[in-house]
Structure formats: structure tokens, C-alpha cells
Amino acid sequence: MTQKKWTESVLSPLKVNLDAQNPRIEVAGDATQNEIRLKLLAHENVIQLATQIIEFGGLMPGERIIICKENHKDVVVEGNRRVCACQLLLKPELVPEKFKKKFPLASQELKSAIIKIKADIAPSRDAAEPTITKRHTEPGIEKWRTTAKMRRASKLLEAGYDLSQIAEKLGARQSILRTSIRDYRLLRYVLDLDHKAWSPSELERLTDQTLQTNPFTRFFTLAGVKDKLGLSFDEHDHVTTTLPSDEFNQYMHHIARCFFIPTPPAKKPWANTRTTVEEVFSIFTLQSKLQSGGNESNTGGNSASHSSSGGTGKAGATASGSAQGSGGGKSAGKGNKPNVPQSAKASAFFEKLICAVDDDRLIALTREITTILPDNYPISSAMLLRALFESTLTYQVKKAGRIKELNKKNNGKDIGLQALISFCANNQNQIFSHHRAADLLKSFENSGLKDHLDFIVHGRWVDAEGSVVKTAARLLRPLITHIVQGGDQDLEDENS
């Protein structure tokens, strides 16, 4: 059978449909065009893009959208942000009410420049996938965030592709894809509780594409969590449980609330990288049914506070009427003292590390290094520690916008760990805002531990010793944690 070919066309942005399957946004499959525009405006910098289009006087040369025919309609499968911006510039009445004051107005000259835009017409969505993947993994096009990548892989699975086909399409390993799909299914599960559990503002937060999902999804990999929840995944990687449905829903709602929803007056969620499994479950109390989140000040029945008693943290009764929490702790009331959280155990290596930045390599390294200890696997631990340290410094240099200077300094050669350390330790390069970072790097360099890790990695002269690897980890852990948690970790804390 002859394969259909790509063609070219010139179309009006007002005559094409935005894509409800766009991985950037979380909308229903039957979402209206207005709903899609609202999500793009809220989470994908469409206002900024519209301003850039005005400043440039139109779309930049070479910016072609990709469309395909679906249900007799032209659907944008690549370039939804640009098309959305053009639609709103051409027809201001389409701008949602909450964005009318912020959205820029276009001159008639600009409208004439964007009334027709160039498009490549793909024979099918499937045929467009390789091109879309390439665009979003190379410089120039805004890269997909972690949530968008998870959603895209999950939607391909739902569309009938098997894991090997998805891996080939996206150029990723099957093991990473399976983890990504399962992580998305966990997030999707709590989102699907929306009409019962979340207020409108909470739901808006949960569907924000800048939401850091790693602390939440990693929680389910910690010891004892899946057993307590009866959690597993079926052959299609959907979430399943051995618990009664409503009980499981309450647990999932509670965990999501702890990791995602700020508890007033705090601006951040209560659960963080130092929160233990026991602490999360100790403030859970099984209700007679899942509590509504319709009230903006509602805590959802299970408090995300530092104790399980008092104020918004007051726990409800269990399904049987008891005041005993399902997490195993006794709740306040009837003369009982509130739970006293147990002291957290200091890290021996990196078992508590959580990656909160959107970097695939750091996410993968963090996931692996949290599963081993130097006493059992000294060689693997040393290799992972060195790789994680080098990758965190590289990420920090890129974050500081100094990667070009580093490459220039090394004359375009491959940048080794020593070059990274020297560059980052030089305060004149302004890689870190915290003065302790440079001191820590110099201390590590002078300790001889870097040479020890190098010898282990290259298999020369030195056998790996767990105690030495742990010493190196103890010195580097504050800096690594500071970077992978987005700069929120105190560099003075060595027990994270």
C-alpha cells in the first residue's frame, strides 16, 4: 500500500483546532477550544509568546506548525502555543475574562501578518510523532516538562501502542517509560478525584504544568508504602489496590494533599524531603467517606500539619466511629496526648534524596542512588555518587547561564569533573549564591576524596571501601541536595 505523503499549506489560525491531546496540558479528551485556550494561557506562557510575536512583527521565519486531519478537522499537533497566541491576537473576544487585562492588543498591521500561517500537513498523528519528539528534545523549541513527558507516554499506551513501540517512537528505554507511565497514572488517579476532593483553586494547582511531582511519586517507592496501600499496577500499568475503594481514595487524597497543597499560612506543602513515611501516615484518619474539597479553606479531613491535633489538623472519626488513625497513631481526644513525631534517622548515604528539578538525568540518577548503600555495593555507590556529583554541577552551571563560558574555558573539549569543580568553586563565575558552596567544593578537592572516586571508577590502584564512599557522600550531600531540590535545602544541613 502506498504511504501517504506530507504536504504543505497556508492556513488561518482561526480555521484550525487546538489539540485536546497536547501533552503540555491536562484537559478532557472532549475539551472545548475555549477550555484548551484557558489552560494554555494559565500554564504555558502564551501571553509572553503573544508579546514576542508583536515585538517581532509576526511569526519568525521557519516557524511552521504541524497539523493533521482528524474527524474532518485540521488539528494542530505541533505549535499549539503559537496558534493559540495568534487566535487571541486576531480575535480578542476569544481571550478569557481573567486574562483580558494582561493580554496584549495587536495592530491591524500585525493581524495582516499572522492571518495566514504556514503549516506542514502530516498524513496522521502517528506519522508526526518522530518529528514532534525531535523538536522537543533539541534547542530552540520549548522543551516539555516532566509532567508533559509522562502524559505523552501514557496517552500513547492508551492509544494501543505497546511499550516497545513507544520506546522506539520517543527514543527512550522501556524501563524509564514504564516508570514514567506509572508515575503519571498515580498523579492522574488523584486528579480524577476532583469532584469529590479538590476545590477549584486546588485543582488548578494540581494541573499546573510547573508542579513538582517527583516528591509525590517517589513517596510510593519508599519501603512499606505500597504494602500499606495494597498498591500495584495491572498488565496495562493502571493503578490497582486490595483495599476498599473509598479507603484507598482517602489515602491517595491525603498523600497528594501532603505533598502538593500548601497549608496556610505556609506557602509550601507540608510534606517535604525530610518527611518520613511514618509522619505522613500518622496524621491520616479514615473518614466515613472521602471529604469534599469544595471549601477553599477545607483541609480535606486529614491535616497536613506537624501534629495530628488542634486547629485545622483536627482528625475526624474512623469509619467505625473510633478516634484511632489508620496510620497506627492515636489521635487527640478522650484525654489522649497528640502524636509526637519520632526523630528522623540521619541518612547513611542518599536514601532520602528527592529530585525536585526538571532534569531527566538528575531524576534518573536520584532514583538509582536512593536504592543502594555503600556497605553492600561500594563500587556501584562510588560510581553513582561521582556521576550524580558531576551532573549536579553541570546542571547548576546551566542554571546560572554560564555553560558557554565553561565550554570556552575548556576550548570546546569534553568537560571533566575537575574542570567543573574548579569553575564552580571560583566565586567570580557566580555559579552559587551561597558562599558555603565554594568552600565545600574546595574542601572536597583538598580531601583527596575526588581522586579516590576517580581511582574506583577507572579501576586503578584502589579497591572500593564503603566507609570511604560514605565519607565522600557526607561531605557532598548538602551541596547535591541543595541543587537537586531547587536551592531550597540549607547547605549547613548534612543529615538530609
User: Taking Cα atoms as reference points, which of 425, 466, 430, 428 lies closest to residue 444?
Assistant: 425
Q: Check residue 105 and give its pLDDT.
A: 93
Which of 10-19, 43-52, 175-184 has the highest mean predicted lDDT (pLDDT)? Answer: 10-19
Q: Check residue 148 and give its pLDDT.
A: 65
Contact 15, 37 (CB under 8 A): no
Query: Is 490's pLDDT higher than 60?
Result: no
Q: What's the CA gap between 227 and 205, in Å, rounded?
A: 29
User: Taking Cα atoms as reference points, which of 357, 374, 376 lies closest to residue 473?
Assistant: 374
Task: Give the three cell numbers for residue 260.
Answer: 502538593
Which of 135-144, 364-373, 428-437, 459-468 has the highest mean predicted lDDT (pLDDT)? Answer: 364-373
Contact 257, 302 (CB under 8 A): yes
* Alpha helix ranges (H) inside 303-434: 360-369, 378-399, 403-409, 417-425
Q: Check residue 429 and give its pLDDT.
A: 79
Q: Which tops the pLDDT comparison, 173 or 8?
A: 8
Establish whether the linkage from the previous residue to 265 is cis, with ω within 30° of 0.
Answer: yes
Query: Is 31's pLDDT higher than 90?
Result: no
Query: Is 137's pLDDT higher than 70?
Result: no
Helix (H) or strand (E) holding 436: helix 435-447
Would you place residue 141 in the very low, low, confident or very high pLDDT band (cuts 50, 70, 90)?
very low
Query: Is 345's pLDDT higher than 70?
Result: no
Query: Is 49's pLDDT higher than 50?
Result: yes
267-276 tens-digit pLDDT: 788 887 678 8
Would you place residue 135 in the very low, low, confident or very high pLDDT band (cuts 50, 70, 90)?
low
User: Taking Cα atoms as reference points, which of 395, 380, 408, 337 lies closest to residue 473?
Assistant: 380
What number of CA atoms fall less than 13 Å from residue 155's CA on the CB side?
A: 20
Q: Check residue 253 and give its pLDDT.
A: 94
Query: Is 150's pLDDT higher than 90?
Result: no
* Cα-Cα-Cα-Cα dihedral sign, residues 148, 151, 157, 160: negative
Q: What letter would DSSP give residue 21?
A: T
φ and ψ at 78, to 5 degrees?
Answer: -150, 125
Task: Give the three cell numbers for residue 418.
Answer: 575537575
User: Taking Cα atoms as reference points, which of 336, 304, 307 lies closest to residue 322?
Assistant: 336
Q: Check residue 384 and give its pLDDT.
A: 94
Report the Cα–Cα distance between both ends of the chain, in Å, rounded.
Answer: 60
411-426 tens-digit pLDDT: 777 888 898 999 998 8
Of 90-99, 311-320, 334-343, the one with minimum mean pLDDT is: 311-320
φ and ψ at 118, to 5 degrees?
Answer: -80, 145
Q: Could you tell me which residues are beta bridge partners of residue 9?
A: 119
Q: What's the CA gap between 491 and 440, in Å, rounded?
A: 9
Task: Give the three cell numbers for residue 360.
Answer: 531527566
Query: Is 344's pLDDT higher than 60?
Result: no
Q: What's the CA gap between 478 and 493, in Å, rounded?
A: 6
Q: Could you tell me which residues are beta bridge partners of residue 489?
A: none
Q: Which tops the pLDDT comparison, 467 or 343?
A: 467
pTM: 0.43
Across 185-286, the runs of DSSP E, i.e. the strands, are 231-233, 239-241
Mean pLDDT of the chain: 79
Q: What's the CA gap between 36 and 493, in Å, rounded?
A: 44
In the three-class reduction of DSSP (H, G, I as helix; E, B as strand; rest coil), residue 495 is classed as coil
Q: Check residue 67 and give its pLDDT.
A: 93
User: Taking Cα atoms as reference points, which of 265, 248, 260, 269 lies closest to residue 216?
Assistant: 260
Q: What angle do CA 455, 176, 227 make, to 5 degrees?
A: 100
Percentage helix, strand, coil for the chain under 3-state DSSP, each rounded to 5: 50, 5, 45
Q: What is the CA radius of gyration of the chain?
A: 25
Contact 491, 440 (CB under 8 A): yes
306-336 tens-digit pLDDT: 433 333 333 333 333 333 333 444 333 444 4
